[in-house]
A and B are shown apart, each in its own frame.
Chain A
Amino acid sequence: MSTVLLDGTEQLINGLMYGCFYALIGGGFTLLFGVLRRFNLAYGSTIMAGAYAGLIPVYLFNAPVLVLFVTTIVVSVLVGLLVEFCCFRFLRKGHELAPLMTTIGMLIVIDETIVYLTDAVGFKYPAPFGDESLALGPFLIRPDYLAILVVSVVSFSAIFYLLYRTRFGRAMRAVAERPDAAQILGVSVRHVNVLTFVLTSALAGIIGFFAAVSVGSARPEMAAWLTGKGLVVMVLGGLGSFPGAIVGGLALGVLEFEAVWFLGSSYRDILAFAILFLVLIVRPGGLLGTRTA
């Protein structure tokens, strides 16, 4: 095989694995948007808060990675509930921009709290999967990417099961479809909203863990970066479409990795946003979305 083809394939594999990570982020945004019809711009900050908090037991008690992982999820859920309480629960209906602004306010509050507590320093993260690349035939594969792939598949399966095979999932889809009708039929919309926050925030914990592991540290820039990618993936796949988020995430991952390889790393982010802009204009419903703007 020629080198170009070989390199292209290696980047394709890496892109697909990293795309799983993007799909997780987009999935979190999408689930919330699907149910509440509102953006949660504080989602990136929720993820970051979890990632930082997970380090506390490690630094204090030298706790194992599993404890770190669980702490990340627990703290993310707590922060997510705080976001729901402060930004959504008491908001008046009918103002589309108000929730956008409250979550921006929350984004600032969470980010600044973390910056204040950590002096804006990155904290080193353990590398539980080692840092030696695995050889798969002629291709080299990073072990943490492989872990991301496995965890993503497990998470997505769990979420699909939850959405389509459980009572709660049915309630969630009902609220997403028609909140008023769901309420009349005895579904507690508030209940579903809170549980959706718990679910997406638990996902945020998983994302935070892997984001920090793949970079090697918990950093204050994480929040903005994750929010940007999440929005791109969500739009790419179609707002509110969960399968769309998976497709969008994989597509973005592959595109970015190929772009880095063939065009250079400075084009990576610009490409992502150019695609975002084009998709919004040409196909506002996204790749798999049915709803039009």
Chain B
Amino acid sequence: MEYYVAIGSIIGIHAMLGLSVYLVAISGQMSFGQQGFFALGAYLAGLSTALWGLHLLPALVLGVVVAAAVGLLVGFPALRVRGLYLAIATFGFGEIVRLAFLNVRYTRRIGDRVVGPNASEGFRHVRYIYDRGITPLEYLGIILLALVVVVILFYFLERSKLGAKLRAVEEDEVAASMIGINVTRVKVFGFTVAAGVAGLAGGLFIHYSSYIDHDMVALPLAIASVTYPIFGGLGSFVGPLLGAVALVGLTESLRTLHGAREFIYGALIILTMLFRPRGIVDEALVLRVKGWLPLRAARRPAPAP
């Protein structure tokens, strides 16, 4: 039981990371830097509860706000470049954050423990949920609640004018700007919200694991977060959710296979890209599913391509 609660928590947190990358991806960009925002959210939320004695909710909010603010600051210059350039630029950003935390030391002695970001030692002893007697199962509930809030946000975003604008920018930036869309503003908006979501995931993570260090927010986490939406599909927010559930579930169920586990993971990514370059839930599938729902289709005619 405990094991499944742990997997559920990881899936919830990673699903948020996947959604974060997805939101950047639907405006046609690819970010390999969401783990940087994840780290920012984690450190800020951890500091808030462990050192500043805040309640969990304001701590998470603070993590989200700081991550989103940095996202806004980074997004403005970074989104001038696109495609592969942006992928590298964002990865550079993620590494800067990681290496900065490798050098930051801000600790206080609480009881017999040294609490706070302690350079390469990492940030240990974020014991909020243990001290308050929150069980792992209850904490899983909190994670899933946060995920539901994010998913509802995405649900309405995709149906909003803003969602349509994001898709329009992905399709063709020049055409989008011709019909009066402020391309930069739309992209920076998406990037900022995405950063906030990654920050939320980070804040939830550090309280789940009680601990984070720079190694946990390195390239592998970037790859994992990008893999969920790309594997799951870029046609709808269901894609990254499916991707997170399927891939985290797969790696966990293959735990007994030891070395072969990651091997299968890698091979699966390659095969998916060869056969479904837009992921499992791609635009074609989304359209087909919408076709099965005649009521919806009748009420709202499909937009011209």
Residues of A with Cβ closer than 8 Å to B? 39, 86-87, 90-92, 95-102, 104-109, 111-113, 115-116, 224, 227-228, 231-232, 235, 239, 266-267, 269-270, 273-274, 276-277, 280-281, 284, 293
Contact = CB atoms under 8 A, between A and B. Distances in A.
A98 B25 CA distance: 13
Given A96-B84, A97-B30, A104-B227, 7 more contacts: A39-B84, A101-B227, A101-B230, A101-B270, A105-B269, A270-B95, A276-B88
Given A101-B273, A116-B259, A277 B99 contact: no
Contacts of A92: 277
Given A91-B274, A101-B273, A105-B270, A273 B259 contact: no
B111 interface: no
Contact of A104 (B83, B84, B269, B274): B269
Nearest to B77: A281
B250 interface: no
Listed from nearest, the 6 A-B pairs whose CB atoms lie closest are A108-B266, A116-B259, A105-B269, A109-B266, A112-B262, A105-B270
A194 B266 CA distance: 22
A101 B81 contact: no
Main SS of chain A's interface residues? helix
Interface of B: 25, 30, 77-78, 80-89, 91-93, 95-96, 99-100, 102-103, 218-219, 223, 226-227, 230, 258-263, 265-270, 272-274, 277-278
A108 B273 contact: no
A280 B85 contact: yes
Given A293-B83, A293-B85, A104 B259 contact: no
A102 B269 contact: yes
Contact of B92 (A105, A267, A273): A273
B87 to A, nearest CB: 7
A90 B269 CA distance: 14
Contacts of B227: 101, 104
Contacts of A116: 258-260, 263
Contacts of A98: 273, 277
Q: Which of B30, B89, B268 has the largest number of chain A CB atoms within 10 A?
A: B89
A112 B80 CA distance: 36
A105 B96 CA distance: 24
Q: Which of A102, A228, A267 has the largest number of chain B CB atoms within 10 A?
A: A102
25 contacts: A86-B270, A95-B277, A96-B83, A96-B84, A100-B30, A101-B269, A102-B269, A105-B265, A105-B267, A108-B262, A109-B262, A109-B263, A112-B261, A115-B259, A116-B258, A116-B260, A239-B85, A266-B99, A267-B103, A270-B99, A273-B95, A277-B78, A280-B78, A281-B80, A293-B83
A97 B227 CA distance: 11
B92 A277 contact: yes
Q: Which of B258, B272, B277 has the largest number of chain A CB atoms within 10 A?
A: B277
Nearest to A38: B84
Nearest to A112: B262
B14 to A, nearest CB: 16
B266 A107 contact: yes
Contacts of A239: 84-85
Contact of A102 (B100, B103, B273): B273
A97 B230 contact: yes
A115 B268 CA distance: 19
Contacts of A39: 84
A269 B103 CA distance: 12
Given A91-B277, A273-B95, A277-B93, A108 B81 contact: no
A276 to B, nearest CB: 4
Nearest to A275: B92
A90 B270 CA distance: 11
Contact of A280 (B30, B92, B277): B92
Contacts of B261: 112
B274 A108 contact: no
Nearest to B260: A116
A276 B259 contact: no
A260 B35 CA distance: 26
A284 B81 contact: yes
A92 B267 CA distance: 17
A105 B268 contact: yes
A112 B263 contact: yes
Contacts of B268: 105
Contacts of A227: 219
Contacts of A274: 92, 96
A205 to B, nearest CB: 22
Contacts of B273: 91, 95, 98-99, 101-102, 105
A281 B230 CA distance: 26
Contacts of B277: 91-92, 95, 97-98
Contacts of A97: 25, 30, 230, 277
